Amino acid sequence: MILITLFAACTNTEKQGAANQVERIPFVENLLAQMTLEEKVGQMAQLTLDVITIGEDETVSDEPIALDMDLVRWAVAEYGVGSILNTANNRARTREKWHTIVSQIQEVAINETRLGIPVLYGIDAIHGTTYTAGATFFPQQIGQAAAFNPELVRRAAEITAYETRASAIPWTFSPVLDMGRDPRFPRMWETFGEDVYLATVLGVEMIKGYEGEDNDVSDPFRVASCAKHYLGYSVPVSGKDRTPALIPEIELRERHLPPFQAGVAAGTHTIMVNSALVNGVPVHASYELLTSVLKEELGFTGLLLTDWWDIENLHTRDRVAASSKEAVKLAINAGIDMAMIPYNLDFCDYLIELVNEGEVPMSRIDDAVRRILNTKYKLGLFDTPVTHYSDYPLFGSEQFIEVAYQFAQESITLLKNEDGILPLSKNARVLVTGPNANSMRALNGGWSYSWQGEKVDEFAQDYSTIIDAIRDKIGTQRVTFREGVRYDNDNHYWVDEAFDIQGAVRAAANVDYIVIVLGENSYAEKPGDLHDLSLSQNQIELARALFQTGKPMILVLNQGRPRIIREIEPYMSAVINAYLPGNYGGPAVSDVIFGDYNPGGKLPFTYPMYANSLVTYDHKPSENQEQMEGVYDYESDFAVQYEFGFGLSYTTFAYSHLRLNRQQLDAGGQLEILVDVENTGSLAGHEVVQLYTSAHFTSVTPDVKRLRRFSKIHLEPGEKKTVAFTLTADDISFINAQNKRVNEAGAYDIIIRDLSSTFNFVK
């Protein structure tokens, strides 16, 4: 009894604790004080655009799209809906159209409601302003990670913010801070890869790029970011989207929480919740994760948004609520501030009833609405509810394109280059083949002009595919194109068809080299689920058949996740991973193949060799146990195709003279690490200098190594630079068996490429 009372008291104080930290802005407080329950609950609702357009029903809009003003009034004036998201009919729109849509909604919100609160429009501007025709598209996050260039991540996000505001929209559902630790997961390419430090550093840069260094999002060139999908979304047991994850707290805190913690510290204004279950509990219903950890422990004072339909999912899919109304109660009491409903307004009716019945405290509603109104206020929406495209002359400009092109080049990762076969001479005759060779859709991936990327070809006609770019570079007469295998773009866009393998084989007779472009067609979320991580059988057959010709083969991979290539990799003289490089991927790949750009990208994940061995680089030592040679034939080693952090260049780099300023580090101290890197080849190039640490002995088994710092440098031939790093105790801390972050005394190695040095951490 006493225990229960204590717990309840503690929970109440905690609840107040989270709410009390939220900033009190007099303007917002004044509004809040005047609002009715109905008006407050309306602010917490978010609908998708199709609901308020003219069209058959809430999922289909007539084209050309137009708002149905009666429906706008119903949603925005009658219900007081606080937010609208998405495009209509899943299609990109012009800036002019966006301006019309957002203005018409704001006019109703401001002129036809009692308090004139503007609507907060949100969109998935994921790798550029996804749903605006003519916007600048960058590599998807996985490619951005491969560039290991934080400044470029920030710059691309700044440009995206600019072009999103040019589309009259002030809020993007980006960045993804989930960890890309399972290559089966269909959203791996939306992440910054498997390493916690890399994802944390780049996530912060992206947030700062969207929001500005000081997070002043009233600046009309900035947008509010939305870090997602909190927490533990990307590592489901089955590898499939929106399926359960089992993540012990030690692992949640060691590898999944840090990017969000850094995102909160970097001031992200909003966060979106993981659609799935962690340890049996839907995250949307988890008071512990949403309120105790995110709002109280991490001190998140911004707006917490559900993912698509996820309150209703608590009832219909996940069955933790016996009715839709109970689902609303669970989610709001757990800490949700805004519901991406997105098709009807039952949510509002239920929530009003729940408050009146005493099932949801008014203090919770006030806290949620305060967070929402604060966000609107900080975005300057009360002063400037709509930005105008004519104030954004740099939209789609050469200046922006250069950044996207450079980013695509910097992302490309050279994984194999036997006997220096690359770069090829521009006098070479080449066969270009494979289902990804002539596809803007595949270069961009999902979230490109449409959700699944299926409308890319309609909007991206002016850009060059890989085959276009190769023809442009070396002349049409030197290039033969036979696709060999193609995707069924209309129906099962996953499925490819071997329609002309023999044609490709015949065409190879007249060329010096074969450039074979393989991978995946575009996809996003659930439709990208996989039963088998191997590259498709048809593509493997194409590679096999072409190998028989004896012509040297260059494999270009264009894919969102590392599909298994073990069977065909030995046929390849060179392997280039282009990931999902965006609209400038064609020229970037062609620049690398023909030596106009010296590649410097590094893998942001471990490229697996076998579908059953999906182990990340930061594994425990027991993943690689010694084999008893000749006694048993174990398959127990850490066998990977290519390691995390790996990537070749057309030049060579020599590392030497690793030195530490001291052999001992303590809690308040700093360790300075220096290493010399020299370009020993004949071409200028980029190198990503990576610093790892490895603990000798700790109370929980240490990972074999962990990335702690990196620095991307450019060296001319013969040039040598000294690269300096600083580490503190925090950098070698870890989560112990009591789920606490600690430092433990003992020896630690610093590892930079093949050099290492040891220091002691002392308490």
CA separation for the pair 721, 713 (Å, rounded): 8
Least separation, in Å, of the C-beta of 148 and ligand BGC? 25
Q: Binding string to ligand BGC for residues 415 to 454, with x set by CB under 6 A, is what?
A: ----------------------------------------
Q: How many alpha carbons lie under 13 Å from residue 59 in its C-beta half-sphere?
A: 0
Core vs surface per residue 661-693: b (16+ CB within 10 A) or e: eeeebbeeeebebebebbbebeebbbbbbbbbb
| Comparison of 50 and 307: residue with beta carbon closer to ligand BGC | 307
DSSP string, 649-677: -SS-EEEEEEEES-SEE-TT-EEEEEEEE
Least separation, in Å, of the C-beta of 252 and ligand BGC? 20
Q: 485 - beta bridge partners?
A: 498
Q: 554 - beta bridge partners?
A: 515, 574
525 binds ligand BGC (CB under 6 A): yes
86 binds ligand BGC (CB under 6 A): yes
SS3 call for 397: coil
C-alpha distances in angstroms, 163 versus 127, 223, 394, 464?
11, 10, 8, 22
| Comparison of 17 and 527: residue with beta carbon closer to ligand BGC | 527
Q: Which two tokens stand for residue 8?
A: 């309840």
CA separation for the pair 557, 413 (Å, rounded): 10
Q: Which residue among 79, 138, 171, 173 contacts ligand BGC (CB under 6 A)? A: 173
| Comparison of 341 and 568: residue with beta carbon closer to ligand BGC | 341
Least separation, in Å, of the C-beta of 375 and ligand BGC? 16
CA separation for the pair 650, 634 (Å, rounded): 36
307 binds ligand BGC (CB under 6 A): yes
CA separation for the pair 704, 143 (Å, rounded): 25
Least separation, in Å, of the C-beta of 174 and ligand BGC? 8
**From 124, 307, 591, 618, active-site residue:** 307
Residues in 312-371 that interact with ligand BGC by CB under 6 A: none
Least separation, in Å, of the C-beta of 141 and ligand BGC? 12
Q: Which residue among 155, 165, 228, 709 contacts ligand BGC (CB under 6 A)? A: 228
The answer to whether 443 and 465 have CB atoms below 8 angstroms apart is: yes
| Comparison of 170 and 435: residue with beta carbon closer to ligand BGC | 170
Least separation, in Å, of the C-beta of 742 and ligand BGC? 34
Of all residues in the shown chain, the one whose CB is closest to ligand BGC is: 173
- The size of the chain, in residues, is 763
| Comparison of 225 and 536: residue with beta carbon closer to ligand BGC | 225
| Comparison of 449 and 761: residue with beta carbon closer to ligand BGC | 449
CA separation for the pair 126, 366 (Å, rounded): 31
Taking alpha carbons only, the member of 121, 122, 47, 125 closest to residue 81 is 47
CA separation for the pair 137, 612 (Å, rounded): 34
CA separation for the pair 311, 368 (Å, rounded): 15
Side chain identity, residue 116: G
Judged by CB under 6 A, how many residues of this single chain contact ligand BGC? 8
Least separation, in Å, of the C-beta of 302 and ligand BGC? 16
| Comparison of 173 and 197: residue with beta carbon closer to ligand BGC | 173
> Does residue 307 carry a catalytic annotation?
yes
Least separation, in Å, of the C-beta of 489 and ligand BGC? 22
C-alpha distances in angstroms, 669 versus 578, 662, 663, 665, 758?
41, 10, 12, 6, 16
| Comparison of 228 and 551: residue with beta carbon closer to ligand BGC | 228
The answer to whether 101 and 64 have CB atoms below 8 angstroms apart is: no
407 binds ligand BGC (CB under 6 A): no
The answer to whether 755 and 656 have CB atoms below 8 angstroms apart is: yes
| Comparison of 145 and 227: residue with beta carbon closer to ligand BGC | 227
| Comparison of 86 and 577: residue with beta carbon closer to ligand BGC | 86
CA separation for the pair 561, 180 (Å, rounded): 9
Residues in 259-278 that interact with ligand BGC by CB under 6 A: 275
C-alpha distances in angstroms, 587 versus 407, 463, 480, 571, 707?
12, 9, 17, 25, 32
Q: Where are the alpha helices (DSSP H) in 21-118?
A: 26-34, 37-43, 69-72, 95-111
Q: Which residue among 67, 106, 117, 124 contacts ligand BGC (CB under 6 A)? A: 124
CA separation for the pair 399, 402 (Å, rounded): 5
Active site residues: 307
Name the residues that contact ligand BGC, by CB under 6 A: 86, 124, 173, 228, 275, 307-308, 525
